[in-house]
Amino acid sequence: MDLMDKLSILTDSAKYDVACTSSGSNRSGVKGAIGSTCLPGVCHSFAADGRCISLLKVLMTNICVYDCQYCVNRRSNDVPRAAFTPEELALLTMEFYQRNYIEGLFLSSGVMQSPDASMERMCRVIELLRTSYRFNGYIHAKAIPGSSPELVRKLGLLCDRISVNIELPSEQSLRALAPDKPKENILRPMTEIRDALTQNKQELAVYRHAPAFAPAGQSTQMIIGATPDTDWQILRLSESLYKKYSLKRVFYSAYIPVGNHALLPHDQPPPLLREHRLYQADWLLRFYGFKASELLDDKRPSLDPLLDPKCNWALGHLDIFPVEVNLADKEMLLRVPGIGPMSAMRILKARRAGALSFDDLKKIGVVMKRAMYFITCKGKMYPGVRLTHSFIYENLTADARRNPKGLPFAPESEQLSLFPAPAVPQLSAADKGGEAVWQKSLM
């Protein structure tokens, strides 16, 4: 089999892995070595699905002894199989990197023979890159559930980021669909990586030149919409992963029907909007100081498709609004829809030069379309705004109801109300908020 065919097969079987970021590591070039990394990561291309291509994302092999039902590479699936030799993959990575096609390598693997055997092959590729080619760029590797602690440690010392896929949001789902992967096999390497990261931090504090263990930290991913797990369960899981395992990122991947198991959904489009809402909620957990329990609970287990989670939260807590932009502290500013970490920082800065008006906020990059309902400037509300649930809800969801593309159901045409809310003059141009830019830089 020639390299072109191998590349096609092993890319095709890796494409469902979502994490293609090259962020979290900041390493400038080293004389005589090739490559560098930068903190926010660099995207080098964008595929036809609009997802960023930052790393050469391939599997070492798609031969797999496991039979996970949601996975395209399961043993029982009839697909062409291939395996890279460590030498050809290392060379391919270098040739792509030198042409500035990629930021580095994202390496995962099917389980050939045993988890340890596959991990050893992966380590071999990365060792070749790091030692023979003196490659100093970004490497993200997937640790294989069930492999030995020594190999996980070895992999961590070679990579920038290491991850273990949690695959599905609950143990029941995992048991039903991935019988070969018990929960312990996934959580054990996660624990080992966490402990190695903590230990490495201490070592680095003492010896500046101690070898770095996965400087970009640990991440994971789970499939959304393949199982009946609710958003509330998912967010709670992510929250504990961030807290207990100090993960850098949890990635969500809308399920694309690749299996024919009776428990899996068929012929339904991937739940992209749900995935999007989960990422929004995830951001609230990581950068806005929200708790999962503030966003959802047992009675309300799903995120609203019409409204983003932050607006939703704000609508449920109208008693603490409006917020005076010229006085509020950073935590409070971050609670206002339309104000992200970047614009909150800019507000705090600009306030030192003088009190801010609505016009100033727009210049600073606050998304006034959303923020206008929840703030006061110098004690005054935005003209025409009423701080009532129905008024704000109708105005905020007007766009989504008018253009219901992507919604899983047709929204109600208009909420009946005795006092229909007057529309508010929209401020334009402020839409390009700091939020989106910030998110892009962190992707």
Instruction: Give the footprint of other proteins on this chain (CB under 8 A).
Output: 3-4, 7-8, 11-12, 14-16, 28-36, 42-53, 56-57, 92, 95-96, 98-101, 137, 254, 256, 269-270, 272, 346, 349-350, 352-354, 356, 360, 363-364
Distance CA 146, CA 164 (A): 10
Closest approach, Cβ 417 to other proteins, in A, equals: 35
Q: 10 Å Cβ neighbour count for 432?
A: 10
CB-nearer residue toward other proteins: 170 or 253: 253
Closer residue to other proteins, CB minimum distance, 56 or 226:
56
Query: What's the chain's length in residues?
Result: 443
> Largest Cα–Cα distance in the chain?
75
Cα distance between residue 348 and residue 343, in whole Å: 9
User: What count of Cα atoms within 13 Å lies in the side-chain half-sphere of residue 190?
Assistant: 22
| Least distance between other proteins and beta carbon 102 (Å) | 9
DSSP 220: E
Q: Which is nearer to other proteins, 56 or 107 (CB)?
A: 56
Least spacing, CB of residue 54 vs other proteins, in Å: 9
406: Cα within 13 Å, side-chain hemisphere = 15
State how far the Cα of 370 lies from the Cα of 352, in Å rounded to an integer: 24
Evaluate the CA torsion angle 109, 255, 299, 415 in order and state its sign: positive
Output 209 or 352, the one with its CB closest to other proteins. Answer: 352
Nearest to 235 by CA among 176, 142, 302: 302
Q: Report the nearest approach of other proteins to the CB of residue 180 (Å).
A: 25
- Considering the complex, what minimum distance in angstroms separates the CB of residue 339 from other proteins? 14
CA distance 412 to 242: 37
CA–CA distance from 436 to each of 341, 344, 441 (Å)?
11, 14, 9
Q: Of 43 and 398, which CB lies nearer to other proteins in the complex structure?
A: 43
CB of 285 to other proteins, least distance (A): 24
Nearest to other proteins of 102, 197 (CB atom): 102
Q: Closest distance between other proteins and the C-beta of residue 405, in Å?
A: 12
Closest CA to 21 of 221, 191, 227: 221
For residue 44, the minimal CB distance to other proteins (Å) is 5
Please say which residue, 223 or 241, places its beta carbon nearer to other proteins.
223
Q: Which is nearer to other proteins, 11 or 148 (CB)?
A: 11
E strands, 77-154, where? 104-108, 138-142
- Name the strands in the sheet holding 323-324, side by side, starting at the edge strand that comes first in the sequence: 323-324, 375-377, 380-381
